[in-house]
């Protein structure tokens, strides 16, 4: 399968007249089509709701596009809660799934009416002491431990993950919560990351649905929703087959009718918390080639670095690269594509076969729409880039300005050194 950029060399040459590289640019049309397909895939479930994982792409302009398709927000920190609240997202449309949670974050989540998803059985007592009561609706995050596998293929290792209640704790926790007056219960679980298979959600759903039936039978809890969380991945590599969201939705529906409906639980709402799937394919990091180096290897130096996209440096993650204007040329040159950080892992690609690259070329790094800008940092005093939106009509809108040195030094503004910095440098 060929991965094509949604921008062309000609488009970028026009954009950079106003917005210099590097920048992240997002495809509004792609985002809308994907959100519509997800909504249709789970339309069979009356209570279905997608809570977009804000951590993936915390930009209100993009989140508001998803809200047009009924999406809420999945938050994991105070600032994500604050952003969602400032956007006018209603409390019931916010899911607060955090871990090792500070008391003031629970306080704020309760204040705005977010649904709280507890990560640990000890958090029941902690939450009650923190806010003085327990909300009528609470969710618990489940971690069965061991390995999560599909058809004998191990997908991930929940037993190594720091998140969630054990199976025994789920039953104990539900009993405690019910005795303390909680009326509506949710189950949440995230057992594998970035899966590229239509079987993940249906397999996870069966495990959670069967658990829900047992919890209802043994504790009498009224389970109102089951949150399949995230985990549906994208094909970062061109040889990977993308997930079929409609096939996934149909697979979950079949399990729902096999397990929940016969147990008298046909009114349970299905929730998802997708981030990567919703946004990643619809973002590019666009950067310009500024240097080439011929030493022990062939290096291409660009004006972006790991500050703009951390995944390759952090995980060795693959991100496809298109040299704009050279899409049809043979990939007969081997390069390391690097940034300027004083870290040797600051590489977007290693030994990647690409067309011959020249200084001044523009490069589109694919699939940066989630966990791209959001994971940025300021090591080496590097500044985060702008975010742009390619609108459906072909126009481009800035949806986050690039950082400036004033932003970087802002937390020194209470000291004399701030007034001595040459901001005109």
Enzyme catalytic residues: 342
Q: Are 295 and 282 in contact (CB under 8 A)?
A: no
Q: Which residue has the tokens 């990647």?
A: 352
Q: How far apart are the first and last CA of the chain?
A: 46
312-347 b/e with 16+ CB inside 10 Å = b?
bbeeeebbbbbbbebeeeeeeeebbbbbbbeeeebb
Q: How would you write 72-115 as a 3-class SS string?
A: EEEECCHHHHHHHHHCCCCHHHEEEECCCCCHHHHHHHHHCCCE
268: left (phi over 0), alpha (psi -120 to 50) or beta: beta
Give 3-state DSSP helix, strand, coil % of the chain, rounded to 5: 35, 25, 40
Rounded CA separation 359/290 (Å): 5
Nearest Cα neighbor of 381 from 405, 414, 346 is 405
Residue 67 parent element (H or E): helix 60-67
Using CA atoms in the order 15, 19, 25, 27, what is the torsion angle rounded to 10 degrees? -40
């Amino acid at each position: 399968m060929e991965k094509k950029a949604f921008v062309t060399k000609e488009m970028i040459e026009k954009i950079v007249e106003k917005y210099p590289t590097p920048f992240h640019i997002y495809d509004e049309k792609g985002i809308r089509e994907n959100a519509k397909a997800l909504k249709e895939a789970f339309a069979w479930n009356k209570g279905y709701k997608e809570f977009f994982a804000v951590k993936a792409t915390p930009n209100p302009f993009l989140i508001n596009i998803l809200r047009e398709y009924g999406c809420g927000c999945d938050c994991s920190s105070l600032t994500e809660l604050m952003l969602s609240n400032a956007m006018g997202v209603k409390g019931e449309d916010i899911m607060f799934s955090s871990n090792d949670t500070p008391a003031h974050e629970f306080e704020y989540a309760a204040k705005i009416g977010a649904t709280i998803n507890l990560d640990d059985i000890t958090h029941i007592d902690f939450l009650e002491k923190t806010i003085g009561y327990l909300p009528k609706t609470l969710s618990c995050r489940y971690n069965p431990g061991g390995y999560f596998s599909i058809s004998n293929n191990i997908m991930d290792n929940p037993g190594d993950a720091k998140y969630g209640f054990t199976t025994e704790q789920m039953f104990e926790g539900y009993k405690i919560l019910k005795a303390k007056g909680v009326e509506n219960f949710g189950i949440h679980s995230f057992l594998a990351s970035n899966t590229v298979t239509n079987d993940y959600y249906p397999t996870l759903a069966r495990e959670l649905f069967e658990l829900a039936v047992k919890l209802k039978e043994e504790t009498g809890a009224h389970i109102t929703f089951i949150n399949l969380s995230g985990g549906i991945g994208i094909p970062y590599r061109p040889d990977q087959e993308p997930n079929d969201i409609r096939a996934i939705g149909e697979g979950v529906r079949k399990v729902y009718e096999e397990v929940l409906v016969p147990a008298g639980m046909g009114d349970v709402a299905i929730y998802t918390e997708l981030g990567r799937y919703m946004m990643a394919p619809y973002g590019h990091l666009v950067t310009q080639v500024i240097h080439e180096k011929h030493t022990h290897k062939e290096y291409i130096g660009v004006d972006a670095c790991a500050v703009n996209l951390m995944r390759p440096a952090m995980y060795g993650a693959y991100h496809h690269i298109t040299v704009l204007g050279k899409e049809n040329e043979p990939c007969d040159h081997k390069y390391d594509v690097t940034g300027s950080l004083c870290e040797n892992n600051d590489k977007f690609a290693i030994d990647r076969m690409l067309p011959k690259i020249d200084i001044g070329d523009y490069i589109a790094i694919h699939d940066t729409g989630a966990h791209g800008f959001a994971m940025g940092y300021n090591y080496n005093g590097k500044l985060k880039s702008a975010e742009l939106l390619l609108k459906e009509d072909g126009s481009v809108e800035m949806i986050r300005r690039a950082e400036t040195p004033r932003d970087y030094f802002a937390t020194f503004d209470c000291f004399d050194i701030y007034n001595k910095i040459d901001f005109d440098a």
